[in-house]
Amino acid sequence: MAANMLLEAPVCLIKNTPGGKLEVNPDALEILSKITQPVVVVAIVGLYRTGKSYLMNKLAGLQKGFDLGYTVQSQTKGIWMWCKPHPTEKDHVLVLLDTEGLGDTEKGDTKNDVWIFSLALLLSSALVYNSIGTINQDAIDKLHLVKQIADLIKVKSKDNDDEEADFSRHFPIFIWAVRDFNLKLEIDGNLVTEDEYLENSLKLQQPEKSVKIQELNKSRNLLRMYFRTRKCFVFERPSDDISALQSMEKVQDQDLKSSFVTKSKEFCQYVFNNAGIKYLDGTRKVDGKCLGLMAKSYTETICSSNIACMENVVMSVSKIENKVAVEEASKYYEDKMKERATFPTDTMETFMDLSGQCEKEALQIFMKKSFKDEKQTFQIELVGIVQEKKSEFLKMNETASRNRCKELIETLSGDFEKALKEGLYTVPGGHQTFKEELKRIEEEYNKEPNKGIQGTQVLQEFLKSKEMIGATILQSDNALTEKEKEMEVERAMAEARERERKIKEEEESQNKEKIKDDKRTLEENFKQLLEKVERGQKLMQAQVECVIAEKNRERQMYENQGDRRNASMYQAQIDDLEVERKQYSGPAWYTPIMDSIKYVASTFLPKTIVLAGELANGVMTTFLNQKKEEMEKK
């Protein structure tokens, strides 16, 4: 979707139903489906009537958009979405999610709050928590929903003892916006930054001798564990004028406190610079369509009282996306072949070179759009479809060549065929004239360009079709002796054998080109798959290293506080992550790929199955040698 087609106003993404459930708005899904650029998703949550919508409007760069409301009644219902061109990142879309206020007394229970909070968490790449006053125990207690996350969200479908520790790898950055803050940023007489203020507020109370203290510490501990990147902004009251506060969407910046305006700009700039592209499963950049699929899947799962499993959503979305990737890639191959091919091609090699280039480009499209293609199921499907389409184009090429050659033969042999019908060769010396005419036709035929891959075949078929009539003319030619006739018969038989040899030679040559193309297909699939997986491995390795650094920071913090239990817990997590990090950099990851490529060969490229293992090993060796050279250059 082009930038000028993005939303001029927010639309409801997830709405409340009369039955107390949530459902995704089909109109919003339609809008998202047209956004092909990567999305940066910023969601805001917090108690109702705390000014969340104002901050989101500032991120949108407009005075009004999300409904602010000025009464004690919650204004925003469900989750509203506003898609805008990203102000600092080209070809990115900023998706702002304004959520229904938590703690709305009209709802009567917290179930809706838990759903809204969980969906905002799962869909965003930056989660803003908006609160009033200070970060004290009461403020942390109001963030009680954090304690319920583990009951609603899982990373993997299988049971995992370390599930909560794994959340930080998938959750967004966390920004705490403290509104109407009127205290000095000071701890023990020392000035501190906003971030230091937040971290100090999240320190655990020691020692944990009572159940009460343990419960007080639980939210703090979970916030640290779930959100490895934490940021804090404190905003003073925007104005002392009550009427101004009740009409913020009409008040200009110059009529607000300068410190509030400055802090709002700092907040927006931080979000623009640090809220990254939303990723699915750590490697797949999320676009609008993918975000819509995620929203629909998560909403339906959570509102069905089931646990929202990230892995299941990833697999569900990947199947849909991979199916589309196969369709788009195969269509690209077909369209480009129709666009670039001029049939008949001069040689089989020319056809295969053209097909190979189109296939390579189609595969690149598939690699770009597909993800989580377990066992390369969809890639194998693409190979099969392209092979079928290639066969169809090859038949079209052969037909075009055959038609062109037959037409040429008919043109060149017109007078010859007429003479045959009129019996002009059944006279003394007629056989010699017959041979000379055939020779003339053959020579003129061979001079003609653009005959295509059936050129030899059609000519030899024509010459073969004249063998019987030639033999009849020979026997009736009284100008020849019996000995001369016998010699002519032997010559004709030799020419027939030569024709068969040429046909066989041409067929073998074309079959070699087909096998060569099959090998190229196999090699290109293997090469591009290796490169894609390697990119994914590097990305995952970098993400793990980032998590390790953050876990180390938390471990060090607990050590400094003398909390050995939590320090040991984080060290155990770090040890597990170090093992995982080494796996991403080791050679084990490409073994399943080799097996998959061999399966491709056996299924769709039977002519190369004997060479599949050798070819796979050869490509792998070349690939690893290239990586070794790159490392040495560094």
Would residue 366 count as lying in a domain? no
Q: Are residues 105 and 237 in the same domain?
A: yes
The reply to whether 271 and 343 lie within a common domain is no
Q: Is there a domain that residue 442 lies in?
A: yes
Residues 291 and 356 in one domain: no
Average pLDDT of span 201-217: 81
- Note whether 296 and 334 are same-domain residues: no
Which pLDDT value is given to residue 137? 82
Domain membership flag for residue 422: yes
Domain assignment of residue 157, yes or no: yes
pLDDT band, very low/low/confident/very high, at 601 (cuts 50, 70, 90): low
Residues 149, 267, single domain; the answer is yes
Same domain, 486 and 589: no
pLDDT above 90 for 340:
yes
Same domain, 48 and 140: yes
Whichever domain contains 179, its CATH number is: 3.40.50.300
Amino acid, res. 525? N
Same domain flag for 341 and 421: no
pLDDT for residue 356 is more than 90? yes
Residue at a domain's end among 510, 545, 566: 510
What is the number of domains present in the chain? 4
Confirm whether 182 is domain-assigned.
Answer: yes
Q: Report whether 173 contacts 229 (CB < 8 A).
A: yes
Q: 404: which residues sit within 8 A by CB, 6+ positions away? A: 344, 450, 451, 452
pLDDT at 350 > cutoff 70: yes
pLDDT 10s digits, 153-198: 888 766 655 666 788 888 999 999 999 998 899 999 899 999 999 9
Phi-psi region of 305 (alpha: psi -120 to 50; beta: other; left: phi over 0): left
Name the pTM for this structure.
0.83
The answer to whether 81 touches 42, Cβ cutoff 8 Å, is no
Query: What pLDDT score does 562 carry?
Result: 83
pLDDT tens digits for range 611-631: 666 666 676 677 667 766 776
Judgement on whether residues 493 and 556 belong to the same structural domain of the protein: no
Mean pLDDT (whole number) for 487-491: 90
Mean pLDDT of the chain: 87
In a domain, 311, yes or no: no
The verdict on 211 and 253 lying in the same domain is yes
Beta strands in 11-54 (DSSP E): 11-16, 22-24, 39-46
Average pLDDT over residues 57-63: 88
Phi, psi of 20 (to 5 degrees): 85, 15
Shared domain for 413 and 393, answered yes or no, is no
What whole-number distance in Å separates Cα of residue 483 and Cα of residue 88? 94
Residue 523 falls within a domain, yes or no? no
Q: pLDDT of 276-302, one tens digit each?
A: 999 998 888 999 999 999 999 999 998
Domain-located, residue 480 = yes
Parent domain of 246: 3-306
In terms of domains, do 483 and 538 share one?
Answer: no
Instruction: Specify which residues 81 forms β-bridges with.
Output: 11, 97
